[in-house]
Amino acid sequence: MFVHQVRADQLVFWRGRESAIFVFLFPVLLFLLLSTVYSGEYRGRPLTDYLVPSLVTYGVANTTFGGLAIILVVRRELGILKRIRATPLPAPMYLAATLCSILLVFALQAAAIMALGRVLYDWHLPSEWPSLFAAFLLGALCFAGMGFGAASLIRSAEGASAVVNVITLPMAFLSGGFGPTRDFPEFLQAIADVLPLTYLVDIVQGVVYDGKPISEQPLAVVVLLAWGVAGTLIAMRFFAWEPRER
Amino acid sequence: MAAAVDVRGLRKSYGDHDAVRGITFRIEEGEVFCLLGPNGAGKTTTVEILEGYRARDAGDVTVLGLDPGRRERTLRERMGVVLQHSETWPQVTVAETLRIYAGYYRNPRDVDEVIELVGLVEKRDARIKTLSGGQKRRLDLGLALVGNPDLVFLDEPTTGFDPQARRNAWEMIRGLRALGKTILLTTHYLDEAQQLADRVAVLRDGEIVTEGTPGELVASSRTEIRYRENGEVKIVATDEPTRVLHELTSRAVAQGRELEELEVRRRSLEDVYLELLREDVT
């Protein structure tokens, strides 16, 4: 039944043109755009070394946080979640399948960005690639926790997309998801210091530039986990199955 | 015969608003039972308690022998629900949607069979967003039936339908009855209750004001005799229409005048219903 539900979610996701374009394709397109307009080097290496994994972290925020939140809010407001509650499908299984499905979308998106990096810019996986993948997975899970939390707080389907973008786009910009931030003014860097994506970007950069495995970056891991747990707790307290709007 | 639904002394309040104030009714297996009442009478609250969506404040409730408040999966296997407002994914087809829901049940009905049952054969592979309102409502019914339930809840299934679509929906609901399903229907349309229900409970302000077969509700009412006298319309309501009519006509004949616009009619269920709703709450 779990597999059935994941497949159903995948069908619904890819069939919905808006969700497929916005959630899946947007980070891929941004990668192509940024890698085309920015060239040069960062810390003695081609900028694509920075951009490929960073755009994947933006994908984490865009897909497992934003995409998940929008999907849940839209389904709640349409009454799909309410109807599901009347079927024998257990609620935890439904939520787990939704999570699994969005992780699949993210995995494909990450693969697409890395493959494009490889084909267009001869980008290669760093030697510490298991740490890189572990960071992506950790980030995806933590941001999904925040996605569940955000879905619980967003009131309307119309507003969901706007709210999510107002959060993720500036966050990605400030956190270094779209390019290095070391030349940013200090107050912007200070804002970035409280954003969860900053810590994911930090882990990824540590892996790529310093060859530091994720196990040697415990502070960033803890901050990310804290955000993920906070989101999950909000969801446990406020998640609703029934439409909020009348 | 076992009761499919048994409700005793059910109460539910939202804040200081008492939505349901101690109602009692019983639905036998295979019966079509209708909760009839205006908007805000407590119909949806009652149904959603039976469906397991809301917790009750007081009262004993069993649905297919189980307590819906415990939200057991075995109960959800055996019931089908048509909610008042609920949509499905717009970009997925009718058959795909039904197949997804069929996957949630142990013994689902065949998807194509369901499509035929609800009359969507021509729309089988159409995306939901291309369906009309009536067709979407039929899909709702299909989704309620795909698990092959014993008990079906229909919360205002035809609200907003044009007359033809309503007739079609009624045919479908009669079809369900023929399949032996127990049906709990809510409506604020009197003719719908009259057409479909084996028994009707009229709900007003969270209380059942009367209950019985549509025939019984009418039978309990009196006959109305109307005529015009000296330009004035007279209405006599009586339990003894034969005697009253005889007296009236004898008098008129004796006086050599006509009872103008004489009309004798049994009051319709509509009259009874409107009268029930008009009575002041005390």
Specify if B189 maps to a domain. yes
pLDDT in tens, A177-201: 998 888 889 899 899 999 999 999 9
Chain A environment of B143 (Cβ under 8 Å) = 83
* Residue B233 and residue B210 share a domain: no
Specify if B282 maps to a domain. no
Enclosing domain of residue B247? 222-266
Q: Are the Cβ atoms of B52 and A242 closer than 8 angstroms?
A: no
**Mean predicted confidence (pLDDT) in A53-70:** 95
What's the total number of domains in chain B? 2
Contact in structure between A179 and A53 (CB atoms under 8 Å): no
Q: Which residue type, as a one-letter code, is found at position A16?
A: G
Distance CA B164, CA B180 (A): 25
Q: What is the pTM of this model?
A: 0.87
Enclosing domain of residue A209? 2-238
Chain B interface, mutation test: which of A18, A76, A87, most B Cβ atoms within 10 Å?
A: A87
CATH number, position B10: 3.40.50.300
Chain B environment of A90 (Cβ under 8 Å) = 73
From the list A15, A89, A243, the residue facing B91 with the nearest CB is: A15
pLDDT in tens, A84-131: 999 999 999 999 999 999 999 999 999 999 999 999 999 999 888 999
**Mean predicted confidence (pLDDT) in B73-100:** 93
* Residue B231 and residue B164 share a domain: no
- Statement: residue B43 has pLDDT above 70: yes
Give me the pLDDT at residue B281, please.
45
- Statement: residue B3 has pLDDT above 60: yes
Q: Are the Cβ atoms of B76 and A78 closer than 8 angstroms?
A: no
Specify if B273 maps to a domain. no
CA dist A46 → A40, A52, A123, A174 (Å): 6, 11, 9, 21
Specify if A246 maps to a domain. no
Distance CA B83, CA A26 (A): 36
Q: Are the Cβ atoms of A86 and B89 closer than 8 angstroms?
A: no
* Residue B187 and residue B237 share a domain: no
Specify if A244 maps to a domain. no
Specify if A243 maps to a domain. no
Specify if B279 maps to a domain. no
Q: Which residue type, as a one-letter code, is found at position A9?
A: D
**What ipTM does the predicted assembly reach?**
0.90
What's the total number of domains in chain A? 1
